[in-house]
Amino acid sequence: MTQNIDRKPQVKKETKNKIRVEFERTALKDRLKAKYVSAFFLKRALWYIFRLLLLIGIAFVILQPFYTLISKSLMAPQDFVDASVVKVPRHLSMGIYRAIIVDVQYFKFFFTTLGLSLACALLQTFAACLVGYGLAKFKFRGNKIVFFAVILSLVIPHGTLQSAIYFHFSYFDILGILKFFSGGARTGIVGIDSILSKIHILPWPKGINMMNSIIPLILLSICGLAFKNGLYIFMLRQFFRGVPDELEESAYLDGANTFRTFWQIILPLSIPMMITVFLFAFCWQWTDDFYVRLFYISVDKPSLMTYMSDGLPLSFASLITSYTEITHQSADYVQAMKYGCGVMICLPLTILYLFCQKFLVQGIERSGIVG
């Protein structure tokens, strides 16, 4: 190399902004040899191939169930009896999708779920922002206790609480106040009870029944107590802790109050993080079947995604009969319908995910969860 530099390069052709220089180089063969036939390169190449194979393998494991979902739901009935058809459908059929969109009225389900998920996710994100900001930037007495409560709400599994949640929202009451003003409070002492039962300011002696409505989910969302909201609060708290105090101080100096600072300075800063939280909240609410099944108990279910695959065999009765005529069994086909539903549930989320995906790492990276 040093020799080459020493030798004066010959200028072959020179234009205004380009110059071609010819100088003696090491022969191409030697250069290639030096570059590619070495332990270092071999190690790099092996690692590269190993890494690629590994990543493709893992990606395969992740994507394979989705592929099965799509391919099975596209198979025509005769493909299920054909033993030679395993992964790739031979006769493509949109029957299941047509049935889902037309018979099951997919778009009704879609818009109902969209409304619910959007409302919940927006409220949850906003609540998590408020609480996270309050916990991160203000030193007040009880800050640590509130933070501990957030973690507690994250740690206690909702399964443990389901009966209590159910009864609480069936007979909703705020510390007995509603009952008291409606004359429903009881102490067990006859004299006091008779006086209490004469109060009729409010009409809910048994508390408000909030079942079969969106209210419990909205209430839980506003308070940041819905599914995994503790995690969102934690993430945003860590993020806000990483925002330098000087920003707020300069805003205060310019005469903004706390809330204006929050609204005009802090929130615009935290958009990637908010998108991340919103993505989580929206998707987890979209596919949630715990709270939805807990709160909607009446016979006529709302058209939410959770119930889409439940009523399937009924809506597809005609399809199934025609299928059973060919194959004398229907289990596979019902399963394929479930898969079709799965695809239709995932599709909107996947599109949303592809749009928001770049914010995901960015959001977490800036969150300062790390440091």
Partner 1 sequence: MTNQVNAASVTKAAKPVKKKKIASLDRRKARAGWLFVLPFVLGFVLIYIPILIESVQYSFNVYRVLDDVVIKEFVGWKNYSDALFSDADFVQTLLTGLQEMAFDIPAILIFSLFVAVILNQKMVGRAAFRAIFFLPVVLSTGLMESILMTSHAEGGEGMDLGMEESAADKMKSAMALETLLMSIFDGLGFGSGLVTYIVTAVQEIATIINRSGVQILIFLAALQSISPAIYESCQIDGATSWETFWKITFPMVSPMILVNAVYTIIDNFTTDSNSVMMKINATYQTNMHISSAMGWMYFLLVLVIVGLIAAICSAFVFYQRRD
Q: Which of residues 132-191 bind partner 1 (CB under 8 A)?
A: 133-135, 137-143, 146, 149-150, 153-165, 167-168, 174-175
The continuous run of DSSP H or E covering 281 comes out as: helix 271-286
Q: Which is nearer to partner 1, 175 or 299 (CB)?
A: 175
| Residue 270 and residue 239 in contact, taking contact as beta carbons nearer than 8 Å | yes
| Residue 176 and residue 185 in contact, taking contact as beta carbons nearer than 8 Å | yes
Closest separation in Å from C-beta 242 to partner 1: 10
| Residues near 339 by beta carbon (within 8 Å), at least 6 away in sequence | 68, 69, 70, 72, 73
The conformation of residue 23, written as its DSSP 8-state character, comes to: -
Closest separation in Å from C-beta 26 to partner 1: 26
User: Cα separations (Å) of 56 from 63, 126, 206?
Assistant: 10, 38, 59
**Among 54, 192, 317, 351, which residue sits at the site for partner 1 (rule: CB under 8 A)?**
54
| Residue 298 and residue 246 in contact, taking contact as beta carbons nearer than 8 Å | no
Q: Does 251 bind partner 1 (CB under 8 A)?
A: no
Q: Does 370 bind partner 1 (CB under 8 A)?
A: yes
Q: Does 254 bind partner 1 (CB under 8 A)?
A: no
Residues 205-234 contacting partner 1, CB under 8 A: 219-220, 222-225, 233
Residue among 261, 235, 250 nearest 360 (CA): 235
Closest separation in Å from C-beta 115 to partner 1: 17
| Residue 276 and residue 360 in contact, taking contact as beta carbons nearer than 8 Å | yes
Q: Does 258 bind partner 1 (CB under 8 A)?
A: yes
The conformation of residue 87, written as its DSSP 8-state character, comes to: S
| Residue 38 and residue 30 in contact, taking contact as beta carbons nearer than 8 Å | no
Q: Is 86 helix (H, G, I), strand (E, B) or coil?
A: coil
Residues 292-351 contacting partner 1, CB under 8 A: 305-306, 309, 335, 338-339, 341-342, 345-346, 349-350
# residues near partner 1 by CB under 8 A: 97
Q: Which is nearer to partner 1, 158 or 212 (CB)?
A: 158
**x-marked contacts with partner 1 along 80-119 as a string, rule CB under 8 A:** x--x-xxx--------------------------------
Q: Which is nearer to partner 1, 87 or 198 (CB)?
A: 87
Q: Which is nearer to partner 1, 302 or 342 (CB)?
A: 342
